[in-house]
Amino acid sequence: MPRRAPSDIPEDAFDDEDPSESPALDEAGDLAPEIDFDFEPGAVQAGTEVIRRFWSTLPGSPGVYRMFDAKGDVLYVGKAKNLKARVGSYARGQAHSNRIARMISQTAAMEFVTTATETEALLLEANLIKQLKPRFNVLMRDDKSFPYILVTEDGPAPQIVKHRGARRRKGSYYGPFASVWAVNRTVNALQRAFLLRTCTDSYYENRTRPCLLFQIKRCSGPCTGEIALADYAGMADAAKNFLAGKSNAVKDRMRAEMQAASEALEFERAARFRDRISALSAIQGVQGVNTQGVEEADVFALDEQAGQFCIEVFFFRNFQNWGNRAYFPKADRSMTPDEVLGSFIGQFYDDKPAPRTVLTSHAVEDSELVAAALSSRVPYRVEVHQPRRGERKALVEYAQRNAKEALGRRLADTASQGKLLVALGQAFGLEGTPRRIEVYDNSHIMGTNAVGGMIVAGPTGFMKTHYRTFNIKSEELTPGDDYGMMREVLQRRFKRLVKEAPRTPPEAEAARAEGGTPPDPAESEAFPAWPDLVLIDGGKGQLDAARAALAEVGVAGVALIGIAKGRDRDAGRETFFVPGRPAFKLPPRDPTLYFVQRLRDEAHRFAIGSHRARRKREMVRNPLDEIAGIGPTRKRALLHHFGTVKAIQGAAFEDLARTPGVNVATARAVYDFFHAGA
């Protein structure tokens, strides 16, 4: 049978399509209204022709598709249980929503990945969305991992630590906790209650006498045999039971031991049990709203106001509330809450296991498929459910109330931020209201461990995902040359910016306007890559260095302002330097001045923190880390055998070769590293 030409798609070609997948249907299931074009209608036809060329060779199997624009940027990532039917729904070129039509009009190419099942397609879709951040998908704005508590199981004496990231280490993980503060407080209380160690394995293996934590009764001292390993393992098991929800049984056993010690007149031992019970009660007491019938669940509640979305996530484990976090995903205003919430949940669990129950405030699209996808990653069945009554419904309503309040606060903060940006533009004589502000500061101690910091602010406040750190690399700089450091930081920043996001020349923008091509709404709403205003923490000298750096890179048209600290570094007496006008000050109680001080202080805090982190790494750097082929195991073997790096440095080659766990090649590498100049 001859293959049909792409342009000859019959009207009934998509009759087998699942209506739930079609972008041409509105909430009621009817055809969406005709497109209200805010772009050239001919562009939709061109995009449709592109899609039709790919449609003709697609299989009818599950998979994931990606749409690309002319520059190669990903526009959209979608999944389908029938790729041919799903992509064919775009190729009709009619009855699309404004968002879908805008997406089609920009499509220049497509790529496809077939999968065995629709569940695999859903998992791959969520993974690609988080990696590629397509413009027309729902995007999570906060991608930070959650902290967990880990009780290790890869050594004779289990360790209790805070953990983030992949679960590569053998042990029991408990969480997630909504904040590091909650984890730290819980770990500290568990130390007092169960006397578990928190030290690293290398520190533990090289102790010859108990450390301070043993003296203050925060550790039982398994490193030096102060407690038998069997007894220590029992305490670790009790800690696991407590974290796993068997808290009452653990406390009852402690109460019984306290009573027995008291009756035996062992009052010091009884007091220790009393303190441990008190520590466990403190953990349970700070959990906030607890549950009676929900042992393990994550609650997702969505609120929408003024075209913006907020999703509040609450974590319940072992009948306890382990905190919450608010997210503000980026989504098109035409998307329904059900679509936003369903896409968000898929991305949320891309790098973390789901609990047994996921409660939602809205009916998630394809909830059974989402549940199946989440269940495929864990050894139990996951339920995705919108409760209608009872305690679960009350938990969702509680979370939704918090989502509404969080979004209200964000909108109020955004409105205030917008007013401050307008005032800032007027105070400094800018042509318009700045949308992206970059602030630069340097930090060092006598020129050592020099670091440059860049912080970014915009209409929604500080944009911490855009912050950058610059380790000063130039060997030609005189230590402590602040001007030279600023030149290096700005040159590196804007060289990369010119390469990765070149600006459209003003002449091209004018020609585009004359041609009647309106700007893309999605592009106008995106956070810009180029700053409208650059603030330099320093006076006229720093400002001149910044201007010279931008001139060398060939960048013009970026507003530069220097902020000189007042006499005695007093806040409120800052002097501002703007090219082409005399230095000036703002009124002492001007809100714009306070806003600039906040920006400057945030840049100072970030630069100082980056400098301290680098200095700390330098202080604890081990020379063995610089030797190729020396990993953690061999480093531990050398330190265990010789005791110190200084002893390793002075050891003979024969002594190094006799070290257990170290072969001749490694011994030669270590010896040559320390005796290169001999």
Q: Which residue has the higher pLDDT, 248 or 336?
A: 336
Identify the pLDDT of residue 504: 62
Q: Is a pLDDT exceeding 80 seen at residue 661?
A: yes
- Mean of pLDDT values over 432-444: 91
**658 CB neighbour count, 10 Å cutoff:** 12
**pTM for the model:** 0.65
Q: Which residue has the higher pLDDT, 266 or 377?
A: 377
- Report the range of poorest mean pLDDT among 147-161, 218-232, 504-518: 504-518
Q: Is a pLDDT exceeding 50 seen at residue 512?
A: no
Burial 35-53 (b: 16+ CB within 10 A, else e): beeebeeebbeebbebbbe
Q: Is a pLDDT exceeding 50 seen at residue 597?
A: yes
- Mean of pLDDT values over 119-125: 87
Q: How confident is the model at residue 262 (pLDDT cuts 50, 70, 90)?
A: confident
- Mean of pLDDT values over 598-619: 86
Architecture of the structural domain at 296-409:
2-Layer Sandwich (3.30)
Pairing of strands 357-360, 383-385: parallel
Q: pLDDT tens-digit profile of 538-562?
A: 888 889 999 999 999 888 889 999 9
- Mean of pLDDT values over 235-242: 83
- Report the range of poorest mean pLDDT among 97-101, 138-142, 430-434: 138-142
Q: Is residue 65 within 8 Å of residue 81, measured between CB atoms?
A: no
What's the alpha-carbon Rg for the chain, to the nearest Å? Answer: 31
Identify the pLDDT of residue 282: 56
How many angstroms separate the CA atoms of 623 and 646, rounded?
A: 10
**114 CB neighbour count, 10 Å cutoff:** 14
Q: How confident is the model at residue 678 (pLDDT cuts 50, 70, 90)?
A: low
Identify the pLDDT of residue 94: 61
Q: How confident is the model at residue 177 (pLDDT cuts 50, 70, 90)?
A: confident
Identify the pLDDT of residue 16: 39
How many angstroms separate the CA atoms of 279 and 298, rounded?
A: 26
Torsional sign, CA 189, 193, 198, 203: positive
Q: Which two tokens stand for residue 255?
A: 């109460």
Q: Is a pLDDT exceeding 50 seen at residue 19?
A: no
- Report the range of poorest mean pLDDT among 256-270, 276-290, 318-332, 432-446: 276-290
Q: How confident is the model at residue 493 (pLDDT cuts 50, 70, 90)?
A: very high
Torsional sign, CA 457, 463, 466, 472: positive
Q: Is a pLDDT exceeding 70 seen at residue 651?
A: yes
How many angstroms separate the CA atoms of 519 and 38, rounded?
A: 9
Identify the pLDDT of residue 605: 92
Q: Would you say the CATH fold of 296-409 matches that of 6-132?
A: no
Q: Which residue has the higher pLDDT, 614 or 422?
A: 422
What is the amino acid identity at position 248?
N
How many angstroms separate the CA atoms of 213 and 231, rounded?
A: 18
Q: What is the CATH number of domain 432-504+537-608?
A: 3.30.420.340
- How many residues can be counted in the chain? 678
Q: What is the CATH number of domain 6-132?
A: 3.40.1440.10
Identify the pLDDT of residue 77: 92
Identify the pLDDT of residue 568: 57
Identify the pLDDT of residue 6: 38
**Which residue stretches of 174-263 are H helix?**
180-194, 201-205, 212-215, 229-243, 247-263
- Mean of pLDDT values over 116-139: 86
Identify the pLDDT of residue 503: 74
Identify the pLDDT of residue 527: 83
Q: Is 162 helix (H, G, I), strand (E, B) or coil?
A: strand
- Report the range of poorest mean pLDDT among 130-139, 331-340, 516-525, 532-541: 516-525
Q: Which two tokens stand for residue 70?
A: 């002319």
Q: Is a pLDDT exceeding 80 seen at residue 30?
A: no
Q: Is a pLDDT exceeding 60 seen at residue 75?
A: yes
413: phi then psi, degrees, rounded to nearest 5: -65, -40
Q: pLDDT tens-digit profile of 563-576?
A: 988 665 566 678 89
- Mean of pLDDT values over 309-337: 85
Torsional sign, CA 660, 222, 235, 228: positive
What is the amino acid identity at position 411?
L
Q: How confident is the model at residue 280 (pLDDT cuts 50, 70, 90)?
A: low
* CA-based end-to-end distance of the chain: 80
Question: Could you tell me the residue ranges of all domains in the chain?
Answer: 6-132, 148-285, 296-409, 432-504+537-608, 623-674
DSSP letter string, 387-436: --SHHHHHHHHHHHHHHHHHHHHHHHHHHHHHHHHHHHHHHTT-SS--S-
Give domain 623-674's CATH number out of 3.60.150.10, 1.10.260.40, 1.10.150.20, 1.10.760.10. 1.10.150.20
314: phi then psi, degrees, rounded to nearest 5: -110, 140
